[in-house]
């Protein structure tokens, strides 16, 4: 009975170790993606500002299609 219990405990410890590794890997991916999202948001804001400046400076009125 003790050997069976030791085997079950060892299996559970191995399973937990794999889960911890997977969680760490997923955390690294989420952290990297958060940084990329922040970077893209900064660029999007900069581009939106540039478009707004170009619209203001344009002598030709910019009209949006009717579906906007």
pLDDT tens digits along 26-48: 999 999 999 999 999 999 999 99
**Please, which residues have CB within 8 angstroms of residue 62's CB and are 6 or more apart in sequence?**
55
Q: What confidence score (pLDDT) does residue 4 get?
A: 94
Q: What confidence score (pLDDT) does residue 6 get?
A: 95
Hunting for tokens 């890997």 — which residue is that? 25
pLDDT over 70 (residue 18): yes
Determine contact, residues 55/62, Cβ cutoff 8 Å. Answer: yes
pTM of the model: 0.67
Question: Residue 36 and residue 44: Cα distance in Å, rounded?
Answer: 12
Question: Residue 64 and residue 14: Cα distance in Å, rounded?
Answer: 60
């Amino acid at each position: 009975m003790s050997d069976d219990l030791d085997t079950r405990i060892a299996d559970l410890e191995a399973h937990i170790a794999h889960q911890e590794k997977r969680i760490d890997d997923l955390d690294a991916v989420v952290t990297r993606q958060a940084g990329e999202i922040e970077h893209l948001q900064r660029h999007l804001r900069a581009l939106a500002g540039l478009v707004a400046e170009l619209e203001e400076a344009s002598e030709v009125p910019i009209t949006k299609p009717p579906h906007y």
